[in-house]
Amino acid sequence: MLISGCATVVPVEPVSTTEPTAAPAPLTIGPAATDTYGGWIPDGQTLSPFDLSNPAVAQLDPALLKAVQDAANAAKQQGVDLRINSGWRSTGFQQRLFDDAVRSYGSVDIARQFVASPEVSKHVVGQAVDIAPVDADKWLIRNGAQFGLCQIYANELWHFELAVDPKGNCPPLRPNAAG
């Protein structure tokens, strides 16, 4: 069919209004935006620092991962099995941990002492690792600086980050995750 006007002829395709059209594909926001389990390690389980099949280890900052692996090798020579019980965490998983802490402690201010929000958590950017068991924590507190690893929070024996100063010293402990 052609529609004509004063000076122009424009071809127009007829459109059926009775035929059903295919449903549009559902909109998604992607797995990272809704991932509330990325980096989750089940309670009671730990990982070898060499287990790169798990994103909790594989997504660690390369310098932190190497430091933890070097420390694990040195600890093993002294009979200590250094394991990871938490490493990299997705933003959604960290938010879930924070929300759970707010519910458990009854306020955001108290929860911040124990769980960092995703905006400030070093786990979300792969720059923090939690170590187990307790004998490995104690070994790393005594020996970690030689690998660049420091305990950061006084109330978290297990939490380590790369934090030595140019002289190889760890910074003073912060009382908790809130500062």
- Residue 109 φ/ψ, nearest 5 degrees: -60, -40
Number of Cβ atoms within 10 Å of the Cβ of 146:
13
- 66's enclosing H/E stretch is helix 62-77
Whole-model pTM over 0.85: no
pLDDT in tens, the chain (179 residues): 444 555 555 565 555 555 555 665 665 555 545 577 899 999 999 999 999 999 999 999 999 999 999 999 999 999 999 999 999 999 999 999 999 999 999 999 999 999 999 999 999 999 999 999 999 999 999 999 999 999 999 999 999 999 999 999 999 999 999 98
How confident is the model at residue 37, as a pLDDT?
A: 84
How confident is the model at residue 159, as a pLDDT?
A: 98
What pairing do the DSSP bridges indicate for beta strands 159-162 and 129-132?
antiparallel
- What are the structural domains of the chain? 35-89+123-162 (3.30.1380.10)
CA dihedral in degrees (24, 36, 108, 106; nearest 10)?
110
How confident is the model at residue 151, as a pLDDT?
A: 98
| 133 upstream amide cis, omega within 30 of 0 | yes
Instruction: Decide: 112 and 106 in contact? Cβ < 8 Å.
Output: no
